[in-house]
Structure formats: structure tokens, C-alpha cells
Structure 1
Amino acid sequence: MMKPDVVHPVGVIGGTGLTSLSGLEITRQWEASTSWGEPSSMLSEGVISGQPVLFLARHGDPHRIPPHRVNYRANLQALYDAGVRTVVGVNAVGGIHPEMGPARVVIPDQLIDYTWGRASTFFEDDLEHTTHIDFTYPYSEPARQILLDAAKRISQPVSGFGVYAATQGPRLETAAEIARLERDGCDLVGMTGMPEAVLAAELGMNYVCLALVVNWAAGKTEQVITMADIEAAIDQGMAGVRTVLEASIEPLGSLAHR
């Protein structure tokens, strides 16, 4: 794969359990500003394996912004303005598919959006013409393959498929809602997959999801979902997310624009 003439940093948006990135040699941090407002956190610039990286904490640092209050437009715009053209969204999710239990790393290939009331597009006001983007495949397949190849190379077990159900939050779902999502064909459920993915697509960025299952979805077991169990799954599984991410950074930096 040929290196681009201009080396663009890879953007990493960290979710629950990933407010910083180990292995990132930080060279500077700054507070970005966009026409859509302020992003969730400062941008942290650094290098992993020789590849420039920009890290942003989706829920802020400390973790205090709920999923429905994240300024997704400002986050993506800030990364784009800083030169990012490939983004890895790290997401904590609930598992619906039998293979996707707590601490499992998943690289989904599809999503269904169940969110509502979120600012979900850059194309709203004062437009010269109406714009409809192709969103048939919400995740960059070349970026997905890079993550899958990296996982195989470092012997990190992952699920390389999955339909991500993006729900509104911040509450967790009912058992009946999860049963409906399963009937719809969903394998995972999370609260931050949209509109992040579509905003990246509108900007022409490669976007890929690297998910960590932190609990069985409601009704999939008889146990009550507790924050203690979620935190235990994060502690157990986040190391796998980090190793896949770090092993993928250099080739991700070589991707052409969407």
C-alpha cells in the first residue's frame, strides 16, 4: 500500500473505559473550537509506531457527558480540521449475539440507528443544494480489514462481523427492546455509534468501529446489569482493544480518503 503524499494523523475517539491511550507519546494538547461548538475534550496529539495520532475522549475527561448530549458534530469537525481523515471509534456495547459476551472485542460491519433528536448531519441550513450521501456500508471496509488483519497478527480473538444497534440512552434497554433489536438482526447495542459514523461519512472520512462488549444486553441472562460488572468487563477486555488499535495505527494512516 502506497503512503499518501501528505501524512494525515489517525483519529481515535475513545468511549467508556478509554479516556486516554496508552502507548501514545503525547507531543501537545489543545482546546479546539468549531462552528458547531466545542468538542468533548481537548485534542491530544502524539505518535504511535511512527504514525501521528489525534485522540479525543467522546464523553469528556473526566467521563461526564452522556451519550445523547455528546456534540458529535464538533468532535468530528475538530478532528477533520486537525487533518484527520481516518477515524477509529472505540465503543462500549452490550452483547446480543451468543458469540459476543462480556470482554469480547468486536469489529462490526453494519448498524441500525434507533436514536432520535440528535444533531445528525452537517447538511442543514443555508444549503446551495440538498445532499444525500451513500451510507449503504457505514464502516470503511479497508479500515475494518486493517483491524482484522492486526488482530490476527497479534493473536487477539475478535468477532469480525456484527450489526450495531445505536439506541438513545442514557438508560439501558428493556428486555423487550432487546428482543425487538434481535428480531431486527442486531448483534450489539450501544448508545454512541450514531450519528458519529454518518458525520464522518459526510466529511469523507474513513470510519471504523472497534467495540468492546461490557455486558450481556437486557434479558440475555437472568442477572441484573450492574456498573461493577461493566467495569470488570472493561478491565478484562480493554487490553485487547488497545493492542488491536496500536497494531493497526500505522496501516490505518496509509488509507486513501473515503
Structure 2
Amino acid sequence: MGKAIIGIIGGSGVYDLPGLEDYREERVSTPWGEPSDVLRFGRLAGRDAVFLPRHGKGHRLSPSGINYRANIDALKRAGVTDLISVSACGSYRAELYPGLFVMVDQFVDRTHGRESSFFGNGCVVHVSMAHPVAPLLQARLADAATAESIPFKKGGTYLCMEGPQFSMLAESLTYKSFGYDVVGMTAMPEAKLAREAEISYATVAMVTDFDCWHSDHGHVDVASVLRAVRENAESARTLITRLIRDFPEEHEECPIGSDKALDNAFITAPEARDPAVLAKLDAVAGRVLGPRS
């Protein structure tokens, strides 16, 4: 399957990854615009890693203002095969307390107005999202958390809201009644785009609060979230560092096919595909489309 290169998208509070050797920064341009920040390249225990802060330096980008397509395209160009997304979230369950990490395996997309696909008119593609998280990657995250004694729950459903406002009480109560586990603002369309780019993807949802449904806790505000984010950030770095140290040198074939998601996914006939659209897909779909003349 080739060499494994681990990508990390750091969410709120996780703006760097200390300890990388042979460290360098590179600004990567994409056909979709500029990613959130420069990519940080390095090695840890002989493993190659690429880090990108989702919100940019100084947390300047809103969840709705992130160029998700540029971020995923840039990471694909950097050779990333396995991508870990780290993000803050609220909890819909009393047992999922602030400080707990949830290795989610499902998403519900309630965002709107975000560009959610690399494909469209001129080149129509439908990839499967039935299982959006790569199971081997999720299992390695769980193993790393266990090894570092970081409290976590394996499995769960992440409701992705548009934001940037926190939830209304009626929304919080509704989604809690649906049986969802956590709520955040950034997993979508990130997970969808990673699948289209054939990158194995997994999310670490760091619980910071109980949203606004819990009668014994106050409403969510930035100050309380930031306090929890700061407490979670060091554990997140420890988790990612352990994951990278223990990661295999070779990329493991994904049992659900996330690294071959474009096989049999193109529906537009080759002769009907728009060359202008194809030109933007050189990184994302190069394996299937082949080199362009």
C-alpha cells in the first residue's frame, strides 16, 4: 500500500504539535484556494507527520469560514494517507463528561452553505459514506489513549451544526432525544472530503461542555469552553504523539475501502467529463484519473 504519512488537523486549542524532528513549514496552494495555514512537516520516531491548524494561526477562521476543500487537497498533495481530526465538542450524555475523548464513528450533517464536495457538474461522483470513519485508524487511536491512560469512549455519533452560535435549548433537547452523543461545528464537510480524497479519516472529539441541555450546568460560553480546551490540549498532544510513535511504517489497507473510495464512484462518462473540472482533481483523484498530459 505504500508509505504511511499521518496528517493531523488540530482544532480549538490544538494549534501545534511539539516534538517533531526535521521540522519545516510550507505553504501549499490548491485549485480550491488557500488552506487554513501553512502545513507543518516533521518526523516522530521515524514516522512522517503533517500538521495543519484548522482555524489558522490565532484562531482567525470561523467554522463556517474554513476552506475545507483546500485543507484536504493540501494534505493530499503532501502525501497524507491517514488523517486524524481533533476537535472540541459538547456532550449530549451525562456520562460523556468534559475532559473525555470520544472516538466517534458516525456523523449527522446539519451544516448548510459549505462546499461539501470536490465533484459536481461536469464530473459527477458518488462515494459511500455509510461508514465515515476508518476502523483501523479509530482502533489505533483507542490503543494510544489506553496506553497513555487518557479517558475515552470508543464509538458515538457526532452532530455537526453550522454555528458559529452555540445551540438553542430546543435544538439541544431535540438532538439529545435522537440519541446522538456529541455536537460540534467542524467535522462536516471535512469527513466527506477526506473520503472523496481517499484518505483514511478518524475524529477525536474532545468534550468541553454539556451543550445547554443539562439543568445542573450553566449555558455554554466561550470562557468555559476555552478553560476546558486548555485542559484537553495537552492530553490531545500526548495522544497524537503516542499514535504517531506506534504507527506502522506502511499504510494499512482500509477494511471499508476508504483509501479506494473512488473505485466505481464516477458516474459521468469519460467523454462527457469537463476538462476544467478534471484539472482541479489532479491530487484528489489522480489515482483513478491518471496523469494528465
TM class by smaller structure: over 0.9
Question: Residue in 1 aligned with 2:157?
Answer: 163
Question: Residue in 2 aligned with 1:94?
Answer: 90
Question: Residue in 2 aligned with 1:187?
Answer: 181
Q: What runs of 5+ residues in structure 2 fail to find an aligned partner?
A: 254-258, 260-293
Deviations 1:148-171 (A, max 9, x none): 111112222111121000000100
Say yes or no: does 1:200 pair with 2:200. Answer: no
RMSD (Å), alpha carbons:
1.5
Kept in 2: contact 1:102–1:233 (CA 8 A): yes
Amino acid at match of 1:225: V
Deviations 1:37-75 (A, max 9, x none): 000000000112221110111111121100011000000
Segments of 4+ moved more than 3 angstroms: 252-255
Kept in 1: contact 2:93–2:210 (CA 8 A): no
Q: CA deviation at 1:26?
A: 5.1
Question: Residue in 1 aligned with 2:16?
Answer: 20
Question: Residue in 2 aligned with 1:64?
Answer: 60
* Identical positions, percent: 35
Aligned positions of 1:192-231 closer than 5 A: 192-221=186-215, 222-231=217-226
Aligned positions of 1:132-171 closer than 5 A: 132-171=126-165
1:122 to 100, 118, 124: 118
The normalised TM-score by structure 1 is 0.93
Say yes or no: does 1:251 pair with 2:272. Answer: no
Write the distance in 1 (CA, Å) between the matches of 2:65 and 2:41.
25
Q: CA deviation at 1:214?
A: 1.2
Write the distance in 2 (CA, Å) between the matches of 1:44 and 1:195.
22
Kept in 2: contact 1:143–1:255 (CA 8 A): no
In the comparison of the two structures, how many residue pairs are matched? 252
Kept in 1: contact 2:104–2:157 (CA 8 A): yes
Which has the greater radius of gyration?
A: 2
Deviations 1:100-158 (A, max 9, x none): 1211111111111000111000111321xx32111111111010000111111222211
Q: What runs of 5+ residues in structure 1 fail to find an aligned partner?
A: none
The normalised TM-score by structure 2 is 0.82
Write the distance in 2 (CA, Å) between the matches of 1:141 and 1:154.
20
Deviates more, 1:229-238 or 1:45-54: 229-238
Write the distance in 2 (CA, Å) between the matches of 1:255 and 1:182.
37
Question: Residue in 2 aligned with 1:73?
Answer: 69
Q: Residues 116 and 26 from structure 1, CA distance in 2 versus in 1: closer, same or farther, beyond 3 angstroms?
A: farther
Q: CA deviation at 1:183?
A: 2.1
Write the distance in 2 (CA, Å) between the matches of 1:212 and 1:73.
23
Question: Residue in 1 aligned with 2:170?
Answer: 176
Write the distance in 1 (CA, Å) between the matches of 2:36 and 2:130.
28
